[in-house]
């Protein structure tokens, strides 16, 4: 099968600012993680892929087609933007239904497909609540539901785990994996390597608008393991959470940033992300948000690019 | 794709736009402002102003309603159609669907028209009703006045909306330019001699009033064009502005904020 996305020397200028700088990469079928620190060019690439932006130079193909103003191509893709802003007055059910109708799907079918898609991401119980009442994790899942609902071939997910709580992360990653297991393709961006590594080893590393590496990431893992990985946790029980995490031998430090935020540094991010939901559930802790400042990844990129 | 399917998709965007315009705080403020004529006529009736009749109604409605309320409501609503969704980061959800940008642009304008007419036409009818009731007349006594103001309001919604919509597509901050055009240009140009007033939209709205109302400040005024010509000019202007908006929107790139 040919590449899902092909970029050859793609450049994007924002006035005098260079967003992408001769980006070249071939995205294979399956799940691919686009990994890079904030400002690396991930969102610019995604907006080019879905036709929101037009490349200043180079050649870009998505599913074999030029994405700029390509209405037909949009039937084949599901897009999840980075922003968590939604139509707050709509319920999740109505939100997904409306967007499905824009795909030309009839009312009855749209209602059924919206229900199924919201169930797929674990939002059935909250589907009739206005989106403005949703937490960040729930918004991420609602965005994922609208991207999945019309049965696309390819999902393009811009930071789909950003700000999600541990349980929402598990559900989102599970939904993405299931979609891929059914034959779908996924390109997802993140600045947290360990998130995407749980569902794929197919990675494109992007830095300063360029693809600096792609393919299997095991070699780079070793480099990253040398840099303690920082995780910021939002919680109403910082003391209890800190006690639990400090007991793990791979946790290097636990810092109280403010009354409701912990900054944890770990030498084994994969183990940290794997075990965090368990400790939250077992000890009945309240963790509302998990974010990774990209300083540790940035350090690795600086190392890689000299 | 058949026309029916395209219309159904367009209606989804139109309905979403109407909801967007009427449910925001901005929408509530503009709706409240739209009812200014009722406040005015109600105050005149309650104060038992002796000269309050259909002529005074006309003299007040033009400067206050057609040149202030109409301009303000259309400016605020039409400039919000695209810009507000860009600011709110909701536009990517629509752009990611298989709907062409020109279709989106036209459907949004249709939503604006529905909201704008729903905002601005009822207050005209109610204010007219208060005026006639105060004079002890039936609703049909000066129906030409009612028809004239309804037509001028509807055409104003159409034309000003198309103009301000275009501004919102080509400018990042359309409100300031819209205010200058709507309140400075329109007021100054229409007062100048010769053919210069023909460069304002309010000139054609006054022509519509003059052509449709038998007795009033603008009826029979030789300085205006006939009502059919005015309607044609306003209609063509609106279509051209809408087409330019759709074509510009087609080529627009969208940077969303994180």
Beta partners for residue B107, in sequence order: none
ipTM given for this complex: 0.84
Tens-digit pLDDT profile for residues A151-161: 999 999 999 98
Task: Check CB contact under 8 Å for A104 and B9.
Answer: yes
- The verdict on A232 and A201 lying in the same domain is no
Q: How many domains does chain A have?
A: 2
Give the range with max mean pLDDT: A7-16, A123-132, B79-88, B191-200: A123-132
- The verdict on A296 and A149 lying in the same domain is no
> How confident is the model over B158-183, as a mean pLDDT?
95
Task: Give the pLDDT band (50/70/90) at residue B155.
Answer: very high
Q: Report the pLDDT value the prediction gives residue B121, as an integer from 0 to 100.
A: 95
Distance CA A187, CA A27 (A): 8
Task: Report chain B residues whose CB lies below 8 A from the CB of A291.
Answer: none
- The verdict on A264 and A204 lying in the same domain is no
Residues of the domain holding A261: 228-305
Q: Are A224 and A193 in contact (CB under 8 A)?
A: yes
Q: How many domains does chain B have?
A: 1
Task: Check CB contact under 8 Å for B96 and A83.
Answer: no
- The verdict on A240 and A132 lying in the same domain is no
Checking if the pLDDT of A300 tops 80, the result is no
Residue B34 covered by a domain: yes
Q: Report the pLDDT value the prediction gives residue B3, as an integer from 0 to 100.
A: 80
Residue A48 covered by a domain: yes
Distance CA B61, CA A161 (A): 55
- The verdict on A253 and A212 lying in the same domain is no
Of the candidates B12, B254, B256, the beta carbon closest to that of A101 is on B12
Residue B258 covered by a domain: no
B110-114 long-range contacts, Cβ below 8 Å, gap at least 24? B110/B10, B110/B14, B110/B17, B111/B13, B111/B14, B111/B15, B111/B16, B111/B17, B111/B18, B111/B20, B111/B21, B111/B81, B112/B17, B112/B21, B112/B77, B112/B78, B112/B81, B112/B161, B112/B165, B113/B157, B113/B158, B113/B161, B114/B14, B114/B18
User: A81 in contact with B at a CB cutoff of 8 Å?
Assistant: yes
- Domain boundary (A166, A193, A216) is at A216
Higher pLDDT, A191 or B197: B197
Residue B256 covered by a domain: no
Tens-digit pLDDT profile for residues A113-122: 999 999 999 9
- The verdict on A42 and A144 lying in the same domain is yes
**Which of A12, A52, A80 to probe by mutation at the B interface, max B CB count within 10 Å?**
A52
Task: Check CB contact under 8 Å for A89 and B19.
Answer: yes
Task: Give the pLDDT band (50/70/90) at residue B258.
Answer: very low
Residue B171 covered by a domain: yes
Residue B130 covered by a domain: yes
Return residues 31-50 of A near B (CB < 8 Å): 43, 47, 50
Q: Are A233 and A266 in contact (CB under 8 A)?
A: no
User: Which candidate, A262, A229, A259, A228, places its Cα nearest to that of A245?
Assistant: A262
Higher pLDDT, A217 or B201: B201
Q: Are A96 and A114 in contact (CB under 8 A)?
A: yes
Tens-digit pLDDT profile for residues A43-57: 999 999 999 999 999
Residues of the domain holding B84: 3-251
Tens-digit pLDDT profile for residues A67-96: 999 999 999 999 999 888 899 999 999 999
Task: Give the pLDDT band (50/70/90) at residue A299.
Answer: low
CATH code where residue A255 lies: 3.30.70
Tens-digit pLDDT profile for residues A229-273: 788 899 999 999 998 998 898 888 888 888 889 999 888 887 888
> How confident is the model over B198-211, as a mean pLDDT?
93
- The verdict on A184 and A237 lying in the same domain is no
**Count of residues in chain B:** 258
Checking if the pLDDT of B78 tops 60, the result is yes
CB-side exposure of B186: number of CA atoms within 13 Å?
25
Tens-digit pLDDT profile for residues B110-122: 999 999 999 999 9
- The verdict on A207 and A238 lying in the same domain is no
| Helix, strand or coil, per DSSP, at residue B252 | coil
- The verdict on A181 and A245 lying in the same domain is no
Task: Check CB contact under 8 Å for A85 and B90.
Answer: yes
Residue A222 covered by a domain: no
Q: Report the pLDDT value the prediction gives residue A220, as an integer from 0 to 100.
A: 64
Per DSSP, A172 falls in state H
Distance CA A98, CA B18 (A): 14
Checking if the pLDDT of A12 tops 80, the result is yes
For residue A44, what is the nearest residue in chain B, using CA coordinates?
B255
Q: Report the pLDDT value the prediction gives residue A153, as an integer from 0 to 100.
A: 96
Q: What sign results for the dihedral spanned by CA atoms B102, B103, B108, B109?
A: positive
Distance CA B39, CA A298 (A): 62
Checking if the pLDDT of A37 tops 90, the result is no
Of the candidates B12, B16, B96, the beta carbon closest to that of A50 is on B96
- The verdict on A165 and A23 lying in the same domain is yes
Residue A221 covered by a domain: no
The alpha carbon of residue A268 is apart from the nearest alpha carbon of chain B, in Å, by 29
Residue A223 covered by a domain: no
Task: Indicate the average pLDDT of chain A.
Answer: 88
Instruction: Report CA-CA distances (Å) from B36 to B72, B155, B168, B202.
Output: 12, 19, 26, 19
**Helical (H) or strand (E) element with B133:** helix B101-134
Task: Indicate the average pLDDT of chain B.
Answer: 90
Q: Report the pLDDT value the prediction gives residue A289, as an integer from 0 to 100.
A: 85
Residue B98 covered by a domain: yes
Contacts of A4 (CB under 8 A, 6+ apart): A27, A28, A29, A32, A62, A63, A154, A185, A187
CATH code where residue A209 lies: 3.40.50.300
Q: What percentage of chain B has pLDDT greater than the value 90?
A: 59
Q: Report the pLDDT value the prediction gives residue B246, as an integer from 0 to 100.
A: 96
Task: Report chain A residues whose CB lies below 8 A from the CB of B12.
Answer: 98, 101-102
Task: Check CB contact under 8 Å for A98 and B1.
Answer: no
């Amino acid at each position: 099968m040919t590449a899902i996305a092909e970029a050859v020397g793609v450049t994007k200028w924002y006035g005098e600012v260079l967003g992408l700088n001769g980006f070249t990469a071939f995205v294979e079928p399956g799940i691919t993680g686009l990994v890079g620190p904030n400002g690396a060019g991930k969102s610019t690439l995604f907006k080019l892929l879905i036709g929101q932006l037009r490349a200043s130079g180079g050649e870009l193909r998505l599913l074999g087609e030029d994405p700029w103003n390509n209405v037909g191509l949009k039937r084949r893709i599901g897009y999840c933007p980075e922003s968590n802003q939604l139509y707050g007055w709509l319920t999740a059910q109505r939100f997904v239904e409306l967007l499905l109708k824009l795909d030309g799907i009839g009312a009855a079918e749209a209602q059924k497909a919206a229900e199924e898609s919201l169930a797929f991401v674990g939002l059935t119980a909250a589907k009739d609540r206005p989106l403005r009442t949703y937490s960040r994790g729930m918004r991420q899942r609602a965005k994922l539901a609208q991207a999945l609902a019309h049965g696309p071939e390819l999902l393009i997910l811009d930071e789909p785990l950003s700000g999600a709580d541990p349980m929402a992360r598990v559900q989102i990653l599970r939904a993405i994996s299931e979609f891929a297991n059914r034959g779908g393709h996924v390109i997802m961006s993140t600045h947290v390597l360990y998130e995407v590594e749980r569902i794929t080893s197919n990675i494109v590393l992007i830095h300063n608008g360029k693809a600096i590496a792609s393919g299997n990431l095991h070699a780079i893992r070793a480099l990253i393991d040398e840099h303690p990985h920082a995780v910021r946790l939002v919680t109403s029980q910082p003391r209890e959470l800190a006690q639990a995490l400090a007991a793990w031998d791979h946790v290097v430090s636990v810092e109280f940033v403010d009354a409701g935020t912990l900054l944890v540094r770990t030498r084994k991010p994969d183990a940290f992300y794997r075990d965090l939901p368990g400790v939250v559930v077992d000890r009945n802790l309240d963790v509302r948000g998990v974010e990774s400042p990209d300083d540790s990844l940035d350090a690795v990129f600086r190392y890689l690019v000299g | 794709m058949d026309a029916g399917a395209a219309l159904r998709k367009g209606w989804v965007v139109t309905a979403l736009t109407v909801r967007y315009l009427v449910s925001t705080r901005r929408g509530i403020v503009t709706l409240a402002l739209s009812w200014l004529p009722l406040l005015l006529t109600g105050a005149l009736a309650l104060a038992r102003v002796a000269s309050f009749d259909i002529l005074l109604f006309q003299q007040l409605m033009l400067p206050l309603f057609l040149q202030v309320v109409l301009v303000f409501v259309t400016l605020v609503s039409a400039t919000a159609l695209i810009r507000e969704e860009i600011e709110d980061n909701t536009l990517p959800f629509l752009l990611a669907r298989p709907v062409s940008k020109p279709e989106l642009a036209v459907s949004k304008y249709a939503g604006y028209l529905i909201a704008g007419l729903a905002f601005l036409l009822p207050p005209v009818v109610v204010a007219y009703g208060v005026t006639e009731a105060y004079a002890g007349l039936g609703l049909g006594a000066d129906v030409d006045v009612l028809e004239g103001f309804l037509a001028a309001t509807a055409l104003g919604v159409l034309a000003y909306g198309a103009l301000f919509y275009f501004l919102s597509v080509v400018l990042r901050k359309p409100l300031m330019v819209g205010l200058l055009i709507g309140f400075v240009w329109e007021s100054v140009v229409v007062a100048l001699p010769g053919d210069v007033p023909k460069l304002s939209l309010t000139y054609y709205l006054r022509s519509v009033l003059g052509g449709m109302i038998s007795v009033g400040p603008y009826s029979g005024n030789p300085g205006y064009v006939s009502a059919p010509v005015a309607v044609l000019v306003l209609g063509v202007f609106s279509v051209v502005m809408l087409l330019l908006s759709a074509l510009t929107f087609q080529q627009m790139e969208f940077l969303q904020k994180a």
